[in-house]
Amino acid sequence: MKDVVYIDFVIDDFTEHSDIDACCKISAEIGSKGLLYGPDFWFHEAFVEDGKQILKFGFNDKHEAMLIKLAGVQKLTTVH
């Protein structure tokens, strides 16, 4: 069985809908790196910690997760 790895993405400036925007943006950026939503990675949960919105994504492959973490994603901003 593969090791499941979780990565937290922090949204510093969020509104009521920014977590949905950020989730879509993160998913699109990860997908652009060749991973498939569902089999390779998935949205796990959203929560607030220390006044910051956290989006947690799961990955089936710890090596792919590390590459994504090292590559990072563009600054998360909302469209609204």
> Where exactly are the structural domains of the chain?
5-71
Could you tell me where the DSSP H helices lie in the chain? Answer: 18-32, 62-71
Question: pTM (2 decimals)?
Answer: 0.80
Dump pLDDT digits (tens) for 51-80. 888 999 999 999 888 888 888 776 555 444
More confident residue, 14 or 42: 42
Mean of pLDDT over the chain: 82
pLDDT of 23 > 80? The answer is yes
Contact 21, 14 (CB under 8 A): no
Residue with tokens 């009521």: 16
pLDDT for 51: 82
CATH of 5-71, one of 1.10.3210, 3.40.50, 2.40.50, 3.30.70: 3.30.70
